[in-house]
Amino acid sequence: MLPDPPVPGAPPEQWWPPIALTAPWLSENAARYDLLHVHFGLESFSPDDLRAGIDAARQAGHPVVFTVHDLDNPQIVDQEPYRALLDVIVPAADRLVTLTPSAAAEIERRWGRTSLVLAHPTLLDDAAAPVGEDDPVREDDPVRVGIHLRDLRPNIDAERAVHAAVDAVRMRDGAGRPVEVEVLLNERVRDERVAERVLAAASGQTAVRVQRTPYLDDAEVEAWLGGLDLFVLPYRHGTHSGWVELCYDLGVRVAGTDVGHIRAQHPSEFHVVDLDDPRTLADAVTWAGDARHPSSPVGDRLASRRAERREERLSVRDAHARLYADAIAGVPA
């Protein structure tokens, strides 16, 4: 894969709208690539700009592949501009890929296009060992629940999530193992007023703590998640989730709202909750705590899972290679 062109005068990791999806770059660099595979970044363009980029790749004789991660964009509230972009690229792409059968069914229903369903591969490095897999669990250990509100992007229902956590802990008071809920919130957020309400929602609580932190890198996220029994995804809308994949890698169960196709990624380890009904979250806490009972062979299960996920990653890579070869050769989808 070609590296993203650097931003002139900016630090190496500086994000910018993906120039490799613009018509001038795709035309001027036609000899440098054989196929254009789009994953994210559509919202940086207008429908006309996106159409021009696809046309430039086609005019250069190169096929276009689009992986439909998002049918709803988690970064925005009004989805109509994003849907207009999907209406450009989904019908136009030579090949479509998505992560779950249910998302493929929605794509076929909305656009009459079939998609190749490929699971999201593991997010762990081959050498990584999930944190805590060998730590013994005792009967009186608390059930550890985590919620990461990040920078309060639009699809995160932050305040309701904290209120639900407070009520769920209260409902479970005296029922088996104690519960500890850690809520992480970035120091820099999109709406400081919402951050203040989140802090107020947990004020005076001993079992639900809100902590503001700098942006966590991948290793820090893995270390934090690996110490949990349950991770909560309080989404208003969304389609798929990388957090679900990482939790699956780490053997951490997930409780989340029933939006998009997130629970279809790993349904056996996903518990649907309703943030307006804290009993559902209390039930999820019990479900996750039972899975990490002292008698549960956590280490053996995670070792087996890591081996399976490594094999899956190889099969996903092979499937992409075949997809690219067929698209370049003009084999009908």
- pLDDT at site 174: 74
Q: Is the pLDDT of residue 3 over 90?
A: no
Q: List CB contacts of 131: < 8 A, sequence separation 6 or more.
A: 222, 223, 225, 226, 227, 250
**Percentage of the chain modeled with pLDDT above 90:** 81
pTM of full prediction above 0.95: no
The CA distance from 303 to 147, in Å, is 25
- pLDDT at site 176: 76
Q: Which of 79-93, 126-140, 295-309 has the highest mean pLDDT?
A: 79-93
Q: Is the pLDDT of residue 90 over 90?
A: yes
- pLDDT at site 275: 98
Tell me the two tokens of residue 282: 């209390």
pLDDT in tens, 257-271: 999 999 999 999 999
pLDDT level of residue 6 (50, 70, 90 thresholds) = confident
pLDDT in tens, 160-188: 999 999 999 999 987 778 999 999 999 99
The CA distance from 171 to 214, in Å, is 32
User: Distance from first CA to last CA of the chain, Å, rounded?
Assistant: 23
pLDDT in tens, 186-218: 999 999 999 999 999 999 999 999 999 999 999
* Cβ-contact 6, 39 below 8 angstroms: no
Which amino acid is present at 64?
V
